[in-house]
Structure 1
């Protein structure tokens, strides 16, 4: 059974005092309970199932769908056993973007969950008549392996699928019996006409798929209900509305406090991104270097993503076996070493492949902390490139909020980002920004960051400004060398 805003008399049903949030990540599936008033986590009401993606030769990076869903259901069982599934008024979902599963004629999966990290796809030769710039402006995406425009032709070449869906679509189907998707999740497939909120005809033609092969897109006001099976399993959730999922990038922005066009949210997790949420109506023309997806029926999110962030920090501290995860002996902007953080390559439209990270200016008196500081500085300068593009796009110096696990883990990196941006920043006090954002989108909340406020230090800003031209020149050299 489903309902929409119109079915409920034009208003969103008032939730109970708590919200159940499902967070569908790449490295874990989680269920947690939040306050419906401000989307703050309820202490102790968090269950997590660790996910281990399978990597293999040929570029595959997949998740076992059955294991993933059962792990998520086990998280709800754990919350139930600990008395956390009472007084729930809404169920919301935050999910990774870009995943795809091939389905047979009965709707059963033919493949594992193919994640954004999977490099398998097909090359497309669309001829000189294809206008990729117009396509990008309309869909917010490029013809890149991240998107279904290249995934679906590859899957069709490998077998005979009768349909396609993403991980959140199949989780939603398992819970409610209905295979539908949200405008937010659909936008991450690269097949959505952003302005109209429907599948794009040219994108489907390129993919070789018809609309009926994909999950139906439901409005943001849609809700489903848990199936009878799960009503018996979790009696406190009977009749509780299940809201459409929100893509994790959009959810993280809103959850961090960046929910309008005055504020850029910088989130640092395994990877990093800088994004701005804004109305979809009268949206500014999209620059080629930026992507754009949807938050919900009324809002879009525009930004840039970066492949090296928390993964870079974790790798380097492990390789160097540093006693501290902070380069506390190195002043921000002072390192002679320049690190170009292309270890995992670049996101589209740039084409630098993985394995292209470079250090310039090494000497025998450099320490592990120097290398760590240079790497975090390089990652900060990459994010700054995107921030300055967004400043230009929205015609103002944007306010900045910082959030994510990498932000929580490193006070030095927070200060480095603040100096690199050369403006004040506010740190989001809440680590669960994805779940918090999904609740805020579903319930119409505007959560405040609530964390520390950082002012840039003049001396640090000046040092970063001095190294910026050298970094830009060496970055170009590294990008050119990656093609040799």
Structure 2
């Protein structure tokens, strides 16, 4: 990894927005005012589709760079880095032209696989960090092959990188999110490729973390200040968010809340602890892995409820942590693997005429906090210690009440990352070898709140089991 004397241009390829921002090269902190954003509106269909228009996405991102240039922010750039959503896929023809839109992680279309009794999914999961779930290319590619004569496959970050540099390659981090990577070797897994029905030459080549490209001639003319600036391979958003939040060692769990949420630990890939069935594992870079659990309802749940309930405030004003009589099981968007609860399975228990909108919001945020706590406790056990916790992401930044609720639910102190753009910051840190400090407030759990949440936990877990059972009926 090579440090740069210039500033860093970070491209953040999210599901709800594409952003370009300029960061300091010393600590990856954002330069004030040097941010451009293009709103993304995924297309959802009754068939389970959740897609992005590739051309519109790329043009929106390029427009962000134009905006930064117009405002004089592309001068003095020494590196270009990318953070991207994991799990996306696009089917391509033999000339590399897209035959499909971008299939996102939220898309539920895939094929069922019957691999017979000889297939050992636990061994497969231990090797790849993934399951045979629709989230991954092992089930996406067979479905795409059954619907269109695709010749090649790539993810959104691979195609954005190709658009900028003319080279279609991928990183070990992005490749790990496809579910087709052997985590130990950093190469495509032969069994995963066989299941997907493709050979490695139909997927983007995996380049080492130290690889760099440069802008193609077309974009060098468009942004003269970026001529010759090295473009680093993309980092998966989960890995980038952990590092950007300050959770980049095996003693710290990062809890990030954006559209969805996750709790993760970054650790060396060498001598990594045996992976439990309930957790996934991807790669950060050539030497580090990230192990964790993800949750489909988080910032999206908060935004939906504040709109539906017509709350004037984003906070459940007047509701004490752990005191809500109603219990919400936040399965509105289903669960991530290996659980199989479908979307549309959210439940409220114990509603009464005494409840007001703030009570309902508090119950939902508390339920999401208890879900995240399940993952944190698994990671505590895996790493044989009570992990330090750092909180980050837009959802954390937006709600003081939720920060306190998470701290009480975890029953341990937390540190709040002061920087909301954790994905871009982490991508810069991975590419340039930086170790950003969270730099935010330290929260101490309040004893009364911890006790109320502990009492609520038993009721929540019993009701959660009922919700899981009902989702299969």
Aligned to 2:74: 85
Aligned to 2:317: 328
Aligned to 1:482: 471
Aligned to 1:42: 31
8 Å contact kept, 2:2–2:431: no
Tell me, in whole angstroms, the C-alpha distance in 2 between the residues paired with 1:74 and 1:299: 33
**After superposition, what is the alpha-carbon deviation per residue over 1:113-141, rounded to whole angstroms, capped at 9, x for unaligned?**
11111111100000000000000000000
Q: Structure 1 residue 27 and structure 2 residue 37: aligned?
A: no
Tell me, in whole angstroms, the C-alpha distance in 1 between the residues paired with 2:269 and 2:448: 40
Tell me, in whole angstroms, the C-alpha distance in 2 between the residues paired with 1:326 and 1:305: 23
Tell me, in whole angstroms, the C-alpha distance in 2 between the residues paired with 1:316 and 1:73: 33
**After superposition, what is the alpha-carbon deviation per residue over 1:287-331, rounded to whole angstroms, capped at 9, x for unaligned?**
000000000000000000001111111111111112222112111
- Describe the SS at the equivalent of 1:451: coil
- Describe the SS at the equivalent of 2:442: strand
1:24-423 to 2 correspondence within 5 Å? Answer: 24-423=13-412
Tell me, in whole angstroms, the C-alpha distance in 2 between the residues paired with 1:230 and 1:343: 42
**After superposition, what is the alpha-carbon deviation per residue over 1:317-368, rounded to whole angstroms, capped at 9, x for unaligned?**
1111122221121111111111111111110000111111111111111111
Tell me, in whole angstroms, the C-alpha distance in 1 between the residues paired with 2:124 and 2:467: 29
Q: Structure 1 residue 446 and structure 2 residue 426: aligned?
A: no
8 Å contact kept, 1:123–1:150: yes
- Describe the SS at the equivalent of 1:278: strand
| Distance change (3 Å), C-alpha of 1:14 and 1:478 | closer
8 Å contact kept, 1:16–1:90: no
When normalised by structure 1's length, the TM-score is 0.97
**After superposition, what is the alpha-carbon deviation per residue over 1:74-114, rounded to whole angstroms, capped at 9, x for unaligned?**
11111111111111110000000000000101111111111
Tell me, in whole angstroms, the C-alpha distance in 1 between the residues paired with 2:13 and 2:201: 25
Consecutive aligned runs of 4 or more in structure 1 exceeding 4 Å deviation: none
- Describe the SS at the equivalent of 1:195: coil
- Describe the SS at the equivalent of 2:450: helix
- Describe the SS at the equivalent of 2:454: helix
Residues 413-422 or 363-372, more deviating: 363-372
Which of 423, 439, 455 pairs up with 1:434?
A: 423
Structure 1: gaps of 5 or more residues: 1-11
- Describe the SS at the equivalent of 1:426: strand
**After superposition, what is the alpha-carbon deviation per residue over 1:378-403, rounded to whole angstroms, capped at 9, x for unaligned?**
00000000000000000100000001
Cα offset, 1:192, TM superposition: 0.1
Tell me, in whole angstroms, the C-alpha distance in 1 between the residues paired with 2:306 and 2:59: 34
- Describe the SS at the equivalent of 2:229: coil
Tell me, in whole angstroms, the C-alpha distance in 2 between the residues paired with 1:14 and 1:422: 38
8 Å contact kept, 2:9–2:80: yes
Tell me, in whole angstroms, the C-alpha distance in 2 between the residues paired with 1:56 and 1:382: 28
Structure 2: gaps of 5 or more residues: none
Cα offset, 1:57, TM superposition: 2.3
8 Å contact kept, 1:343–1:355: yes
8 Å contact kept, 2:3–2:433: no
Tell me, in whole angstroms, the C-alpha distance in 2 between the residues paired with 1:332 and 1:451: 22
Cα offset, 1:467, TM superposition: 1.1
Aligned to 1:3: none
**After superposition, what is the alpha-carbon deviation per residue over 1:249-269, rounded to whole angstroms, capped at 9, x for unaligned?**
000000000001010000011
Root-mean-square deviation (Å): 0.7
Tell me, in whole angstroms, the C-alpha distance in 2 between the residues paired with 1:234 and 1:371: 49
8 Å contact kept, 1:91–1:240: yes
